[in-house]
Structure formats: C-alpha cells, structure tokens
A and B are shown apart, each in its own frame.
Chain A
Amino acid sequence: MDTGKLNADKIKQSLAEGKRFDGRKPEEFRKLIIEKNVSKKAEGSVRVRLGKTEVIVGVKMAVGTPYEDSANQGNLMVTAELLPLSSPRIELGKPGFSAIEVGRVVDRGIRESKLIDLEKLCIKEGEKVWTVFVDIYSINDDGNLLDAAGIGALAALKIAKVPKYDEENGKILYGEADRDLPLNDVNPIPVTVHKIGGFLIVDPTLEEEDVSETRVTIGGSEETISSMQKSESASLTREELEKAVEIAKGQWGELFKKVEKLI
C-alpha cells in the first residue's frame, strides 16, 4: 500500500461519482498499443502497452519429450519475470509471488481455452513433441500487468511460426518458418476486475491497484469462461461476482477486436 489513505479516500469518492483520476469510466481500459516482432529470434514476440504499463512477450519453441499422460501432445510452459527494471518496488532475487501468479494465471487462460492445438505439435508419439514457451517480461509496471501479459501472450501466439524440424539430424532450423502455430478458433483474454470501496473497475493504474481490496481475473472468449482466479483477502458478494463476470465478458470482445487490428 504505497498510496496513502488520503489518496484511497479520494479514489473512492471519485468512483462514487463514476469517475477515475485519468478520466476513464470504471469499465474502460487504457489505450492498448501492440508492437509486433520486437525480438526477432523469438518465434513470435510483441510489446504490449496499456497506458504506461508495458510488457514484452515472446514465444520460443523447442523439441522435447511429452508428458506420460499426454503422449501425443505438445507441451506449453508460461513463465513471467517481473523485472526490477520495471518498477522501484520489485526487488532483486528469486521470483516473488506476483511473477508466479502472472505466469500461472496466463498459463491457465491459454491451456484451458484450448487455444493451442497441442496434438498438432506432436512429432513422434511418446517420444518427441514441440514445447511452446511463452515468456513474459515486465518493462514498466503502472498496474494491471496480468491483463497486459495475457493480451501479449495471445497476440504473440497468434503471430508465432513453427520452425522447421530436421527429423533425421534432430535439429531445429530456427528462422526457417514452416507453418503458423496451430491454434483453435478461440481468443482467450484475461480481464481482471478490481473492487475498490464497493465499486468494480477494470485495468487499474498502479495507484488504483494499491487501494484495491480484492480482484478477480476472468479469462475467456465470447460466451465461455475458461479460467478464473480471485486474489487478495477481501470478499466478493455473489452479486459482485456476477457483475464482474458481465464486465469481463463485455471486455473480451472489445479487446480482441483491438488485438486483431493491431497484429
């Protein structure tokens, strides 16, 4: 809680009038900017900006062994690093809980929506499959890194190419793209709804995030919710949860339209 109590009171007062400090409506996202191919060694990469919040997401692919319970499927691994570079509050050292949470929640959003057609990433059943790594780096934290990361993951996967694989020599020919990453027709986007003094908002700035009492991340597309996580200690009423879901559903389509336009 770095923003003082005074600020908290002021934020709540404004919300009571349906206003936010930066002039947005409670259910309005900041301006979304996506820049493609910011790191060309990656199979797909994007820089995502939500206002002053910025993340870079890259997709890398490697050949590995499948898990026993999914012998004919590729693997997915999502990792987030919240860099000390991106905020004075992030300390050096082992990943804090926030980084783990961003990675895991984004992972579930992609995995559970079946965005990636993992069966098409099987090279030899039980022996060789593609592993898709989605790696997220924070560059500037001004709140809502999680949604920015989720949008970035979707965008990076959408533009990612599978490199050629030389089966005889077991060598990946990076840079020689073979095909688009096989994706299903879903577009999961996480939308985190925050509760501040009984009001629900999306896409908080850092000062709003500081006074947020609880939040729930709802990932999905169109009519289907594919992942959810409530975080922080305060509770939500059933009505609030229902409303949060409606807010998220309203945003998925809007955000995806923007993503589609930007990539």
Chain B
Amino acid sequence: MAEGYVRKDGRKNDELRSPIKADVGVVPNADGSAMFQIGKTIAIAAVYGPKKMHPQHSQDPEKGTLRCTYNMNSFSVEDRIRPGPSRRSTEISKITEWALNPVVMLEKYPNEVVDVHINIIQADAGTRCAGINAAAMALADAGIPMKELVSSISVGKMDKTLVLDLDKFEDSEFEDGEGSTDIPITFTHSGEITHIQLDGKISSEQLKEVVEMAKGACDKIYEIQKEALKKSLMAGEGEK
C-alpha cells in the first residue's frame, strides 16, 4: 500500500487532534449537559427531559422517544451559514439519534421524550462526531439510564492512506489521487457499531482497517468522556 500522504499538521496517521477536552454541566438550565472539543472543533450538548411528548400523536406508548437536534452556529465556519435548520443539519440530527438510541434505555418512559440539543460553536470537520460524544456525556449527566456510553470518530482515506480524525483540509480540500473519503463511525464501549457513514470510495479490505482504527480511537475518547463524568460526580456530590 502506498504511504505517500503526509499530514499537513504533522500528525501521525493514527493520531487524534489535540487538544481533546471534555467537560460536564456547561448549561446550568439543562437536566444534563456537556462540552466536547477535539482540535478546533467544539460542540456542546444539553438534555431536557424525560418530559411529556407533544403533540399526543407523536407519543409512543411502548417507550420514551429520543429526539436530537444538531445546530451549527452561523459563524462557526468560514463562510457564514444561514442560521436555522438545513437539510444537512436535519440529517445529522437523525443520524445522531440513531447513534445514541441503542444505548439509551427509554422503556421506563412511555409517552415521554428526551430532547438532546447539540450546538456547534466552532467547526473544523468532525462536528457530528464531536456532537455525538458531547450528547452521550450529556445524557449520562442527565441521569438517563444507559447501557453504556458511545464514542464517535471519523476515519479518512487520503488518496490511498488511512488517517484518523480528519481536519477541515483533509475533509474538504484534499483532492490528490483518489481524493478524500470520510468515514465517521460511532461505537459503543463494548464494540457495537451504532453509526457509520461514508463519502468517497474504499475497498472492503481497507474498510476493515478503518473500523479497527476507529475502535482504537473510540476507546481513547471513551476514557476522556468517562473521566469528565467522574470529575463532575465528585465535584457535584451533595449538590443537585
């Protein structure tokens, strides 16, 4: 395999961006909230609920509903984007719901809804993954029963070389050879895949490698998420 691609920012191919920061309880009004930063991408998430689902016809008598909303600040990217929902943000909202749903235990909340609001403050690729990472922590912070956490990362193929955690250049400007393929993946801690997307082209052999790389990275992210949650539990003892 050709190893021609050298990363502009000097990272190794399997190196995550830095800094990686996680913090819990960033939105005091929310029932649970968290911030997740990786490189220059910053996401915050806030959870409200469980609460009654309105309108009534959207209620599920079997179990509660997880409802995610992904929103980017207009100034989080170079060319200002129009505030408010777009086709892209609508899709990412749904993808986020699907990424989180398998670990969230909503059987105890029939006819109710748990709202997860994600806001991208600064964007430099990988915003959906950062949003999912923040959302998982916010749900845990809100005390929503979960089987385990999920962690999310994107793997890229730059021409023929696999790299971890694409930055903006790698995600949207790199065009050499086969160009850039972006594969965001979300893993449960126990190793199930709850989300995968792919834009570009790749062989099935290389895809296996991609999944392996992503799992390794998600294990690292999991530790950071866990630490932040632990820290907030320690600090919050006696409160709330």
Number of A-B contacts defined by CB within 8 Å:
90
Contact flags (1/0) for A171-195 with B, using CB distance below 8 Å? 0001100000000000000000000
Docked-complex contact B29 and A86, CB < 8 angstroms: yes
In Å, the complex CA distance between A24 and B117 comes to 33
CB of B84 within 8 Å of the partner chain:
yes
Docked-complex contact B75 and A45, CB < 8 angstroms: yes
Among A87, A88, A175, chain B packs the most CB atoms within 10 A around the CB of A88
Contacts of B83 in A (CB 8 A): 79, 81, 135
Docked-complex contact A85 and B75, CB < 8 angstroms: no
- Which of the 9-residue segments B15-23, B40-48, B191-199, B226-234 touches chain A? B40-48
Contacts of B30 in A (CB 8 A): 85, 88
Contacts of A164 in B (CB 8 A): none
Docked-complex contact A137 and B73, CB < 8 angstroms: yes
Contact flags (1/0) for B75-107 with A, using CB distance below 8 Å? 111111001100000000000000000000000
Contacts of B80 in A (CB 8 A): 60, 62, 133, 135
Smallest CB gap from B82: residue in A = A79
Docked-complex contact B48 and A60, CB < 8 angstroms: no
Contacts of B124 in A (CB 8 A): 41
Smallest CB gap from B26: residue in A = A139
Contacts of B48 in A (CB 8 A): 84, 88
Chain A: number of interface residues, binned into ranges: 20 to 34
CB of A147 within 8 Å of the partner chain:
no
Of A38, A52, A85, A175, the residue contacting B117 (CB under 8 A) is: A85
Of A88, A95, A135, the residue contacting B74 (CB under 8 A) is: A135
Q: Whole-angstrom distance from the CB of B194 to the nearest CB of chain A?
A: 22
Q: Which B residues, 119 to 152, have Cβ-Cβ distances below 8 Å to chain A?
A: 119, 121-124
Among B48, B80, B117, B118, chain A packs the most CB atoms within 10 A around the CB of B80
In Å, the complex CA distance between A139 and B46 comes to 9
Among B29, B75, B118, B119, chain A packs the most CB atoms within 10 A around the CB of B75
CB of B181 within 8 Å of the partner chain:
no
In Å, the complex CA distance between A142 and B40 comes to 29
**Given A41-B78, A84-B115, A85-B46: A58 touches B28 (CB 8 Å cut-off):** no
Q: Whole-angstrom distance from the CB of B134 to the nearest CB of chain A?
A: 11
In Å, the complex CA distance between A58 and B40 comes to 16
The 5 closest A-B pairs by CB, nearest first: A58-B75, A85-B117, A42-B75, A60-B80, A85-B46
Q: List 10 A-B contacts (CB under 8 A).
A: A38-B122, A39-B75, A41-B75, A41-B124, A52-B29, A60-B80, A85-B44, A88-B51, A133-B74, A174-B78
Q: Which residue numbers of A lie inside 8 Å of B, CB to CB?
A: 38-43, 45, 52, 56, 58-60, 62, 79, 81, 83-88, 92, 95, 133, 135, 137, 139-142, 174-175
Other A-B contacts than A39-B76, A92-B69, 10 sampled, CB-CB below 8 A, are: A38-B121, A39-B73, A40-B40, A41-B77, A41-B124, A79-B74, A84-B69, A84-B115, A85-B71, A85-B119
